[in-house]
Chains A and B, each alone.
Chain A
Amino acid sequence: MNTVIDTTDRRIIAATQGGLPLTLRPYAMVAAQLGLDAGDVMARMQRMLDSGAIRRIGAVPNHYALGFKGNGMSVWDVSDDAIKEAGQTIGALDFVSHCYHRPRHLPTWPYNLFAMVHGRDRAEVDEKVRHIAAILGVNDRGHEVLFSTRILKKTGLRIGPNRP
């Protein structure tokens, strides 16, 4: 589903995707930078928030810095019949940050359910993965946890200002 956004919205996106200004009137500052009215900027951002074009406005903690050093991408081979229910159940767990149905690449890659699991260390992640396995029961036809050993790049998403 796409949200209808215009050139002005795109300029607002380009100006704010790196962060919101830390000033008393942040939206007015964005508006001033872009030569727009503050009320217009707020109305447009509210509309993007309501439509889901903005997922949320807020703080993104660096989970490593907060002591969540265990970050495992758990991947599961779940039968296609069961994936929807499994995904909804696993996605609702409070230690799962992302949960997706993705395609297999047989024979190298048999996994179709991805759940990112966070914990203070690997042992905590492993314990949470066992918890997921218990929930999936017979629908767990095999799983692995891929721990990250290095961040090679992290610039975040960048959306261009001029795309039609």
Chain B
Amino acid sequence: MDARDTAIINQLQGGFPITERPYAEVAKTLEITEKELIERLENLLAKGILSRFGPMYHAERLGGGLTLAALHVADEGFDRVAEQVNRFPEVAHNYQREHHLNMWFVLATETPARIDEVLAEIEQKTGCRVYNVPKIEEFFVGLRFEL
């Protein structure tokens, strides 16, 4: 990563135009060519420095269900339970965390009603109690990594 990559990442965390030639517009701001911008983005994505580039949709505003939930899983069965949980296509992210509640996953479903059904299925499959912590209020989502 060089200074131009850094400038691209900083610039593109703030937004991207919806116009016929959006890369050309951003490239102009960065004082590089449209072609170079696209090539550098391809490279940053290929290297995994960017995990995505594109629109971030707001699942709940689109009518879907979303929640965060946690399990306490015994160490010896951890990988097996992780596999069981991950097999649900509704599980979007799953993290191991250092705590008594050591598995935390985000569930995104087609409808809000589906959340409780999937959580019940996860409880049944894993034999672990599910602690469901859906958001009551969102104060902030976003973050800019200033590089």
Closest partner residue, chain A, to B23 (CB atom): A24
Task: Please measure, in the bound complex, the distance between the C-alpha atom of A88 and the C-alpha atom of B86, giving whole angstroms.
Answer: 33
Q: Are A26 and B62 in contact (CB under 8 A)?
A: no
A59 within 8 A of B: yes
Chain A interface, number of residues (Cβ within 8 angstroms): 79
Residues 114-164 (chain A) with a chain B CB within 8 angstroms:
114, 118, 144, 146-160, 163
Task: Please measure, in the bound complex, the distance between the C-alpha atom of A63 and the C-alpha atom of B137, giving whole angstroms.
Answer: 25
Task: Please measure, in the bound complex, the distance between the C-alpha atom of A74 and the C-alpha atom of B20, giving whole angstroms.
Answer: 42
**CB-contact partner of A17 in B16, B54, B140, B147, under 8 A:** B54
CB-CB under 8 A from A83, the residues of chain B are 137
Task: Please measure, in the bound complex, the distance between the C-alpha atom of A26 and the C-alpha atom of B25, giving whole angstroms.
Answer: 13
Q: Are B62 and A22 in contact (CB under 8 A)?
A: no
Q: Are B24 and A153 in contact (CB under 8 A)?
A: no
B115 within 8 A of A: no
Proximity string of chain A (1-40) to chain B, C-beta cutoff 8 Å, 1 when within and 0 when not? 1110100000001001111101111111000000000100
Task: Please measure, in the bound complex, the distance between the C-alpha atom of A27 and the C-alpha atom of B20, giving whole angstroms.
Answer: 7
**CB-contact partner of B98 in A65, A149, A152, under 8 A:** A149
CB-CB under 8 A from A155, the residues of chain B are 92-93
Proximity string of chain B (34-60) to chain A, C-beta cutoff 8 Å, 1 when within and 0 when not? 100010011011011111111111111
Indicate the size class of the contact surface on chain B. Answer: 35 or more
Q: Are B94 and A51 in contact (CB under 8 A)?
A: no
Q: Are A18 and B49 in contact (CB under 8 A)?
A: no
Q: Are A23 and B38 in contact (CB under 8 A)?
A: yes
**CB-contact partner of A58 in B16, B49, B63, under 8 A:** B16
Q: Are A53 and B98 in contact (CB under 8 A)?
A: no
Q: Are A91 and B15 in contact (CB under 8 A)?
A: no
CB-CB under 8 A from B136, the residues of chain A are 100-103, 112
Q: Are A159 and B95 in contact (CB under 8 A)?
A: no
Q: Which of B66, B132, B145 has the most C-beta atoms of chain A within 10 angstroms of its own C-beta?
A: B145
Using A65-B47, A153-B86, A159-B62 as known contacts, say yes or no to A20 and B16 having CB atoms under 8 A apart: yes
A70 within 8 A of B: no
Proximity string of chain B (85-103) to chain A, C-beta cutoff 8 Å, 1 when within and 0 when not? 1100101111111111101
